[in-house]
Chain A
Amino acid sequence: MRARIALCLCLLLGAAGCSNVEPWVKPYERQNLADPIMAADPNPVASSYLNHVFEVREGARGALGGHGGGCGCN
């Protein structure tokens, strides 16, 4: 478990240190990504219910969408 936390630390801090990379998709090119039909989880109350159904009916669990994120559109 210690190794898992250390890995996450390295990933987060390492990535945070590389923020000077030039964005290859410019802010003015994000019109499509900002469209509501491109939202990762447009209806959280409905999708969390469906994920609950999956977890009750199936042996598998976890890593079902809803992992945050965005396109920097707002």
Chain B
Amino acid sequence: MPRTKRIAALALLLAALPARAAVLPDDRADVLYHRYEGGGVTVDGPSVLVRKNLAEKYSVAANYYVDFVSSASIDVMSQASPYKETRQQASLGLDALNGKTQYSLSVLGSEENDYSSTTASLGISQDLFGDLTTISFGYSQGWDEVRKRGDPTFEEPVDRRTYRLGLSQVVTPSLIMGFAFETITDEGYLHNPYRSMRYLDDDVPLGYAWAPEVYPETRTSSAASLNARYFLPYRAAVHGEYRYFTDTWGVDANTVRVGYVQPVGSRWTLEAGYRWYDQSRADFYSDLFPRADAQNFMGRDKELSTFQSHMYSAGATYQLPSSGWKFLQRSTVNLFFDYTNYDYADFRDVLKGGAPGTEPLYEFDAAIYRLFFSAWF
């Protein structure tokens, strides 16, 4: 079906649904400082989100987000020089309520010196069965442009389509469960123009050489997740999530996440969590190819290698005393910390030396900080 017909079909679907339930999101503002440190990479910056209801039928949301990147990652150190760059992202969204149906539209743009991205999304959600069930459907279309520093003639497109299906179900007075399914298709220039693959070469002293990666120009992935959140008898909550992922590049991944939320007194809420992630490598990934033209597609992106990660999380939320301002219902200060270990099974640390293919396997730790202020009005 041509793209325009598919979008028209979705629009018809939105118009055909009967008007019922749903509640617009709360009016709120969030100001966040984020910081990521790990593997020679530091990324930090602000994110600001403001959401406001209009006429009790519409909700408008705007987000501005910045990454200040300073990278001396293993890829950069083994093939290039450390660099710094800035990525800015802005989005604008509109939700509309019609009875128990909620319609959503949003646009998002991001810009860095060698990559631009624009995404438009639409979605619909519907409350059913006495508001015990919510079903949602979404579609996004993305248009990216990949550029390359030092080569003004380099300009390659990427098109992306995303289809989402969600289901939320109240099971008991203390248990709510959810299911999500998402398919993403990409078409275009899908690899990093700076990254190289490694192959055996007896003609050089190191015993290996670098050559540009060659990737497929299409990728389709599917992910399905199941989650649950349970209210404990002494006012605390436990939650868990499992996700299965697979794609046409041969990557299969499993994600398990569990968490615990405990209010303490009238103002504090403490949280703890653990996340396990495991993936298999892409079919065309290798740490060391036997020769420069070993196969049609060749990549050495460690994000497409076989690896596991363990993430441990802790967070605290403090509800601030009433400010006396009538327009401010409540406000909180929040600090979340996540510690992650990445352990690679077939990506080697060439910086540590050794005969090609016998270097130590790569691993690194990362620390993630999120400090933010939230206000509801």
Contacts and interface: CB of A to CB of B under 8 A. Distances in A.
A70 B241 contact: no
Contacts of A2: 1
B241 A65 contact: yes
A71 B166 CA distance: 14
A16 B20 contact: yes
A62 to B, nearest CB: 3
Contact of A4 (B127, B183, B370): B183
Contacts of A15: 126, 128, 133, 135
A30 B227 contact: no
B303 A63 contact: no
Contacts of B309: 57-58
B166 A67 contact: yes
Contact of A63 (B123, B223, B336): B223
A9 B9 CA distance: 10
Interface of B, secondary structure class, is: strand
Contact of A60 (B20, B165, B236, B251): B251
A22 B130 CA distance: 7
A53 B237 contact: no
Interface in B344-375: 366, 368, 370, 372, 374
Interface residues of B, number: 93
B70 interface: no
Contact of B174 (A8, A33, A57, A68): A33
Contact of A12 (B13, B30, B269): B13
A69 B136 contact: yes
Nearest to B104: A68
Contacts of A19: 20, 128-129
A23 to B, nearest CB: 3
B2 to A, nearest CB: 11
Interface in B222-250: 222-225, 227, 229, 231, 235-237, 241, 243, 245, 247, 249
A38 to B, nearest CB: 6
Contacts of B49: 44-45
Interface in A19-58: 19, 21-25, 27, 29-33, 35-38, 40, 43-46, 49-50, 53-54, 56-58
Contacts of A58: 253, 277, 279, 303, 309
B368 to A, nearest CB: 6
Given A2-B1, A37-B263, A16 B136 contact: no
* 7 closest Cβ pairs, A-B complex: A69-B168, A72-B131, A23-B130, A67-B166, A62-B182, A63-B223, A60-B245
Interface of A: 1-2, 4-5, 8-9, 11-13, 15-16, 18-19, 21-25, 27, 29-33, 35-38, 40, 43-46, 49-50, 53-54, 56-65, 67-72, 74
Interface of B: 1, 6, 9-10, 13, 16-18, 20-23, 30, 32, 34, 36, 47-49, 63, 65, 102, 123-137, 162-168, 170, 172-174, 176, 178-184, 221-225, 227, 229, 231, 235-237, 241, 243, 245, 247, 249, 251, 253, 255, 261, 263, 269, 277, 279, 282, 303-304, 309, 334, 336, 338, 342, 366, 368, 370, 372, 374
